[in-house]
Amino acid sequence: MRRLQRLSLEQKGKETCNPLYRLYDTVHWWRVFFVTIVIVCARVCPSFSLKNSMYRSLGMQIGDHTAIAFYVMMDILHPEWITIGKNCVIGYNTTILTHEYLIDEYRYGQVILGDEVMVGANVTILAGVTIGRRAVIGAGSVVTTDIPEGAFAVGVPARVIEH
């Protein structure tokens, strides 16, 4: 079960449109611009310690000895809602999101990865998900629900196949 908050952006007197079109009603433009610059630089940074420092400067909680691979894409709207435990491995080209824009509403929620979590390459982790300590997420998976401690999950959507 994902822990999501929902916000309807219906406003009297405003043109009806999807929430993404009104992105800057929820997050200030300059904040998005600054976070985008930091995240783009961190995505290609070859130093894990420097990369983790860059993410921490945005309010993310990153544990010691965590390795975030090349081209990982963190949420640019609310990176401060991402917590990654110690000694984790986040694989190449993974995406971690803390928000979702739909036609009629905006959803958002924290993403928490416990200690010693292994996330394979090209994984997408959606808003509101918690991945338990020592869980393994197979490459190419889409994590749409919580994954328990010590589980092995794969697929689209990710399903626990071993626990």
Active-site residues, by number, are: 99
How much of the chain is in helix, strand and coil states, percent to nearest 5? 20, 25, 50
Beta bridge partners of 113: 84, 131
Quick one: 147 exposed, middle or buried, by C-beta within 10 A (0-12, 13-18, 19+)?
buried
Strand duo 82-84 + 111-113: pairing:
parallel
Side chain identity, residue 133: R
